Amino acid sequence: MDLGDLVIINNPGHSHYGKRGKIVGRRGERAPGDPWFLVYVMMRGRSYLLPGSMLEIVEEKTDDKEILIWPLSGKVTRKAHRSLYRQKDDETKH
């Protein structure tokens, strides 16, 4: 798991079980091999500190796209990085 990945809270005992979010920070380790992640939970409009063991990746952020989340609706969109636009512009100029 890394910054920008979309995750779902998969621990049935957690009050936000089944909610989706985006990893926006990392805050040390809860236990060896189980880091704390700061997760922006879309449907709540808030960030929560959750251990990695409670999270499951829904979609990973890649180098060619950034995952954007709209706070109030929870709508997810993808945006290509500017470097891709520059590459396409350079290719068309030559």
Is residue 47 domain-resident?
Answer: yes
Q: What string of H, E and C letters represents the secondary structure of 35-62?
A: EEEEEEECCCCEEEEEEHHHEEEEECCE
What's the structural domain count of the chain? 1
Provide the mean pLDDT of the chain.
76
With cut-offs at 50, 70 and 90, classify the pLDDT of residue 73: low
pLDDT digits (tens, 9 = 90+) for 11-55: 898 888 988 888 999 888 888 888 999 999 877 788 999 999 999
pTM of the model: 0.65
Residue 62 has pLDDT above 90, yes or no: no
The reply to whether 26 falls in a domain is yes
Winning range, highest mean pLDDT, from 40-44, 69-73, 76-80: 40-44
Q: Could you tell me the residue range of the domain that residue 15 belongs to?
A: 6-93
The conformation of residue 64, written as its DSSP 8-state character, comes to T
Residue 1 domain-assigned (yes or no): no
Task: Confirm whether 36 is domain-assigned.
Answer: yes
| 19: in domain | yes
